[in-house]
Structure 1
Amino acid sequence: MEIRVATDDDWPGIYPFYATIMAAGRTYPFPERQSPDEAKPWWMEQPPGRTVVAVDGGEIVGSAKMGPNRPGRGSHIGTASFLVDPAHQGRGIGRALGQYAIAWCREQGFSGMTFNAVVEVNAPAVHLWKSLGFEVIGTVPGAFDHPEHGRVGLHVMFRSL
């Protein structure tokens, strides 16, 4: 598997699993039922951020976006978001993208990384981020309306770089 910087030509390969994941409503508080043109700016980061794709056998199997968590005086902390095509989950793609994002944020000079909205019942994601050195520093109760669990918390997770 190769992880490389995404181009505009990659968006048609990302959008189908982006739309599937958003429609499932289990992991992101992003708008649902976005057209490709509406969704693209939600995922394809502009500098100083970056979007990458994980490619296996010529197929895009995952993607991540990363950059400063906030502008100005908050720009020393990085953030990232991740998507793995549901047809390819369980193969270490999320871990590889997470490791890439950590390394990239470190190279860019960020002093830490935060994830602002990890759904607390998303056990695989919480486990993965903890295994990569993130810790839950707070939870916003009832901030996410999960289709099976109702209103659940959103974890704020952090790690120093």
Structure 2
Amino acid sequence: MEAITIRPAQLEDLDAIWEIFHFHLTAGETYPFEAHTPKSACEEYWLGPNVNCFVAQDKTGRVLGMYRVVANQAGRGAHVANASYMVSDAAQGRGIGYLMGKHSLDTARELGFLAMQFNYVVSTNQPAVALWQKLGFSIAGTLPKAYRHEQLGYVDALVMYQLLSDPATWPGKEA
């Protein structure tokens, strides 16, 4: 596999992030954003306050993908991370998603998160579902017909979940 570096995203990465983001939104197969979502919304989503965003780049510095880690909920749910990932069309099938997935789990642990939850994995995105299961996620629930796929119409979305450490070691009281 080629040398891939994962590093914190910078504002200078916005154009590359926008290109990947816009491609996926236009395709309408994996993200709930509409195709006409403005670049300012992309910047807020990936580089906004309280967003831990990272980019994967090749040895030339070209951004191949990005991921973000945020708290899934506030307050009593803030110990659970949420993450989002996108890989450029040109880099699909090269293991970038796997590398970012592993990196994001380590990042979430370093940030003090105790679990990670994906709220909205489109069920027809089988490469993503298989990747998350390979990385230890389980399907916690199915949201029937929750996603309006550009080609297939209404399809299910999945909630996927993984504990990042043994709950017996978690601080505070268990429910």
Q: Provide TM-score, normalisation by structure 1.
A: 0.96
SS at match of 1:99: helix
User: How far 1:32 sits from its partner (Å)?
Assistant: 2.0
Matches of 1:5 and 1:68, distance apart in 2: 17
Residue aligned with 1:125, SS: helix
Which residue among 120, 125, 148 is the counterpart of 1:122? 125
Aligned to 1:157: 160
Corresponding residue number in structure 1 for 2:172: none
Q: Which has the higher strand share?
A: 1
Per the alignment, residue 46 of structure 1 pairs with 49
Partner of 2:29: 26
| TM-score (normalizing by structure 2) | 0.88
Corresponding residue of 2:139? 136
Distance 2:23 2:115 in 1: 31
> In structure 2, what is the Cα distance between the partners aligned to 1:13 and 1:120?
27
Shift of 1:38: 3.1
Cα RMSD for the two superposed structures: 1.0
Seq. identity, % = 38
CA distance in 2, matches of 1:50, 1:129: 19
Q: Structure 1 residue 35: deviation in Å?
A: 2.6
Distance in 1 between residues matched to 2:20 and 2:114, nearest whole Å: 31
Cα distance in 2, alignment partners of residues 108 and 42 from structure 1: 19
**In 1, Cα distance between the equivalents of 2:71 and 2:48?**
11
The residue that corresponds to 2:13 in the other structure is 10
Structure 1 residue 101 and structure 2 residue 104: aligned? yes
Instruction: Tell me if 1:66 matches 2:65.
Output: no
Cα distance, 1:58 vs. partner? 1.2
Partners of 1:66 and 1:79 within 8 A in 2: yes
Give the match's secondary structure for 1:31. Answer: coil
Q: How many pairs are equivalent?
A: 160
1:2 to 1:126, Cα distance in 2 relative to 1, 3 A: same
- Secondary structure in structure 2 of the residue aligned to 1:46: coil
Unaligned runs of 5+ in 2: 165-175
1:50 partner amino acid: N
Distance 1:37 1:104 in 2: 26
Structure 1 unaligned blocks of 5 or more: none
**Following superposition, which runs of at least 4 residues in structure 1 exceed 4 angstroms of deviation?**
none
- Match for residue 171 of structure 2? none
1:110 matched to 2:113? yes
